Structure 1
Amino acid sequence: MTSLKLRVQEVHDPMHETKTIGERLRSARRYRGMSLQLLADRSGLSKGFLSMVENGKRSLERRSHITALADALEVSVADLTGQPYNPPPRPNGAGGHGTVPRVRVALLGSSLDEPADVRPRPFSELLGETAEVERLCEASDYGRFGRMLPGLLPELHVSAVTGDERQRRAALRALVRAAHATFYLLKDLGYLDLAQIAVQQARAAAVKSEDATLSALAAFVRTHALLPAGVYLAALRNARQAAEYLQAATDDPAALELYGMLNLSAALACVTMGESGDADTHLREAGETAERTGEGNAFGLHFGPTNVALWRVALLVEMGDSGKADEVARSVVPELIGSRGRQATFFADWGRALAHLPGRDREAIEKLRRAERLAPEQVRNSPLVRETVSHLLNRARNAVGGRDLRGLAYRFGLS
């Protein structure tokens, strides 16, 4: 797959990125010299639908559709979504985006094979900072924990190769957890290729630890690196293999929760591939597992009955069943999950569903604003949410909820 020079050809406003996926789609199609009919034939989507997408009359927010079009055009998913986005002006810096340059240096400059030439802080301090990074990651506070990573990651690498055996094992475990958080910082802000390096570091530490549960956690992280890149078959295979591996270790509560999360991840991969029957099987397995675990939080994943319900809403939205997604969402109590980021994802999914239901724009805007209040950077950097906001703005700039919608669009950098 080649990558178009779309980013070079587009002049980016340093303050805002206003292009929609539909506009990028039209640019990519014209660059390839491809007609709408040919693109429709290659992607499996109708010519009429694609025309409406390019003209801002329909949104393009299902992962499967975006990936099908990227494949047909021989571009990356990021070429269509436009990630990473320029952050809107901030009075106190660029938030998580502002931490990425130093995080990049830390990832590239240290590994278990070649640890950085640094003197680590006392190990108890490193463990405490790892726990704080995880806490802030659950809150999607990218700016705060992103500033910790450039020091923490290299120091954990050094501790993992220079300490005594007990310390090395603890450092490897902490390194997997820190790399997990690093992955979410980079993935959620749109640095998908750089996020892969965090995945590799998590896998390397897990393998060296010889801990089956840590290896499964690293596999979970890899699955969620493959999904936004549109590599669905590999994501499904990865999640299934890790889940099968954990079946022998389900007497461990953390392993059981991770097993449930891997089944949810496999369900999403199935839905994006159009395999709804297999998706239902994985979702049912996750639900049965949640009945055994209750509400948990191993590795900051918050697996349990509530999270399964939240995932069910997300899967219904991806399948395009907005009415059912709204129905299920109304019965969920997201506050039972102690993660602002996970709650924000739920309200964003609910808002996306409502945006597709007649006469529900005001409710959609309210849910999207609630998601934004919970986790501003996470929500503003989601290509799927941005597409929904753009679509709402194009559809009713001065209609219902106009002021709130314009404010939402401005904070997303879409006005």
Structure 2
Amino acid sequence: MHDATVIGNRLRTLRKWRGLTLVELAGMAGMSKTHLSDIERGLKALDRRSYVASLSTALRVSEADLVGGPHLTQDPVQAGPHSTVPQMRIALQTNTLTEPATDRAREVGILTAEVKQLEDVFARCDYVTLGSRLPGIIDELHFHAARPQNEAAQRDSLTALVEACMYATFRMKDLGYGDLAHQAATRAEEAARLLGDPVALGKAAYCRIQTMPREAGWDRKLTAARRAADTLQPHVRSAEGTAVLGMLILTSALAAAVAYRLDDARDGLAEARDLANYIDDDPCRNWSAFSITNVGAWGVALAVESGESGGAVLEKARIVDESLLLGRPSRRATFLADVGRGLAREQKTAKGALGWMLRAEGVAPQRIRNSPQVREAVAVMIQRSKVAASGRELRGLAARMGIPH
């Protein structure tokens, strides 16, 4: 069971442990004393990656020490997905592309079809189903990659392994297991290199960049994303390649926003929007949901990470056609939660934030109840809530996330 203390309390404890005053720590982290005090008292959320980075650096602790590890509650929807992690760990840590952990496997065609079927499970954020089926598939794909019947079978197994490891990367990352997410991304990159396909290498780079440790800094992530995009760009010949390139550009834009390079963030978002015009606006079919609609949703995320809040976030949300995200629950839930987080930052829009977060929870409960960003925002809302009409629903959401209320 991980520490259930609100991040603000943990921050106060670490500050006092280092013997720093509010003024001293605020100055070291580039924040105002008032803002830091509000975070410690639970009145504002520590939900911007740049603040997490600057505070952990000032306190000389890892970001995991500051924000905590995976949080488990008695709620089976929230805690259940974590029960599948041990088998995922075994699959990722006992296989290599030359030494598979299993000595038998089903036909490659059956496995590639199963990976395709898991795309819907992945998009629905059904962590339990994905976690129960994916480890065995990863085992079997390694068998075919290491002992292929022919060149075509090896290529098919490696292509499917890149996708399977992408599923593992993002769901382990969502649940707070950064080490496993990084291992899955590394395995995807190894498979892509053996495959020698530029688009597969772009997918693997996207996974790897997403799992870089926070301590690496967002400038490094920005550089890596731009380099990967530049490497892929000359080889883009298909809608899938366009989508992979677009997601790398969006990743660079997010990194720029967190690093306070706001011009670069705006330029990256505009570049991704221009690229999305070349393919159908279909988040449900495009790789990683890349589309004009998804670029708009990322625009909301970038706004929140850049510090925007309240009406400014809501204005950006209005341009997103949510109906086009109905078949992509993972992306839709993240979009709804990002809007809620932005609204929660201002007292006058905080009541509306609850509705967005409850909708996000309804779309992908396993994801939202395991989101540290949503958890922190809800904890702050509980602390500040003075509106009796929203109290019951807010306390209910807090209870499902294991937040003291």
Q: Same fold (TM over 0.5)?
A: yes
**How far apart are the structure 2 equivalents of 1:324 and 1:398?**
23
User: What letter corresponds to residue 308 of structure 1 in structure 2?
Assistant: V
Aligned residue for 1:293, secondary structure, equals coil
Alignment pair present for 1:204 and 2:176: no
Alignment pair present for 1:96 and 2:81: yes
TM superposition shift of 1:65: 0.6
Alignment pair present for 1:221 and 2:207: yes
User: What letter corresponds to residue 110 of structure 2 in structure 1?
Assistant: E
Alignment pair present for 1:128 and 2:116: no
Q: Among 319, 322, 339, which residue is 1:350 paired with?
A: 339
Aligned residue for 2:381, secondary structure, equals helix
Alignment pair present for 1:259 and 2:248: no
Q: Is the 8 A contact 2:339 2:353 kept in 1?
A: yes
TM superposition shift of 1:407: 0.4
TM superposition shift of 1:36: 2.3
1:142 to 1:229, Cα distance in 2 relative to 1, 3 A? farther
**How far apart are the structure 1 equivalents of 2:321 and 2:299?**
13
Q: Among 37, 46, 66, which residue is 2:52 paired with?
A: 66
Q: Among 34, 53, 61, which residue is 2:39 paired with?
A: 53
What per-residue deviation string (whole Å, max 9, x for no partner) do you get for residues 192-228 of structure 1?
Answer: 1221111110110010000000000001111211275
**How far apart are the structure 2 equivalents of 1:396 and 1:112?**
53
**How far apart are the structure 1 equivalents of 2:215 and 2:337?**
20
**Partner residue of 2:4?**
18
Give the aligned CA root-mean-square deviation in angstroms. Answer: 1.8
Q: Among 150, 156, 160, which residue is 1:174 paired with?
A: 160
Q: Is the 8 A contact 2:340 2:354 kept in 1?
A: yes
**Partner residue of 1:413?**
402
**Partner residue of 2:299?**
312
Alignment pair present for 1:189 and 2:178: no
1:28 to 1:358, Cα distance in 2 relative to 1, 3 A? closer
The within-5 A match list for 1:34-49 is 34-49=20-35
User: What letter corresponds to residue 360 of structure 2 in structure 1?
Assistant: A
> Any gaps of 5 or more consecutive residues in structure 1?
1-11
TM superposition shift of 1:296: 4.2
Q: Is the 8 A contact 2:78 2:365 kept in 1?
A: no
TM superposition shift of 1:243: 0.8
- Give me the TM-score of the superposition, normalised by structure 1: 0.92
**How far apart are the structure 2 equivalents of 1:53 and 1:359?**
18
- Structure 1 residue ranges, 4+ long, deviating more than 4 angstroms after superposition: 227-230, 296-299
Q: Among 347, 362, 369, which residue is 2:358 paired with?
A: 369
**How far apart are the structure 2 equivalents of 1:222 and 1:299?**
20
What per-residue deviation string (whole Å, max 9, x for no partner) do you get for residues 370-409 of structure 1?
Answer: 0001111211111111111001100016634011100010
Q: Is the 8 A contact 1:295 1:304 kept in 2?
A: yes
- Number of residue pairs aligned between Structure 1 and Structure 2: 400
Q: Is the 8 A contact 1:216 1:242 kept in 2?
A: yes
Aligned residue for 2:211, secondary structure, equals helix
The within-5 A match list for 1:136-155 is 136-155=121-140
TM superposition shift of 1:229: 5.8
The within-5 A match list for 1:196-345 is 196-226=182-212, 231-296=217-282, 300-322=287-309, 323-337=311-325, 338-345=327-334
- Give me the TM-score of the superposition, normalised by structure 2: 0.94
**Partner residue of 2:373?**
384
**How far apart are the structure 2 equivalents of 1:228 and 1:326?**
28
Alignment pair present for 1:160 and 2:129: no
User: What letter corresponds to residue 330 of structure 1 in structure 2?
Assistant: R
**How far apart are the structure 1 equivalents of 2:288 and 2:79?**
27
**How far apart are the structure 1 equivalents of 2:128 and 2:244?**
27
What per-residue deviation string (whole Å, max 9, x for no partner) do you get for residues 52-108 of structure 1?
Answer: 211122221111111111111122222122121113332x89421110011111111
Alignment pair present for 1:107 and 2:96: no
Aligned residue for 1:213, secondary structure, equals helix
Q: Is the 8 A contact 2:78 2:366 kept in 1?
A: no
TM superposition shift of 1:238: 1.5
What per-residue deviation string (whole Å, max 9, x for no partner) do you get for residues 153-205 of structure 1?
Answer: 11111111211110000100100000000011110001112211111101100
TM superposition shift of 1:354: 1.4
1:46 to 1:357, Cα distance in 2 relative to 1, 3 A? closer
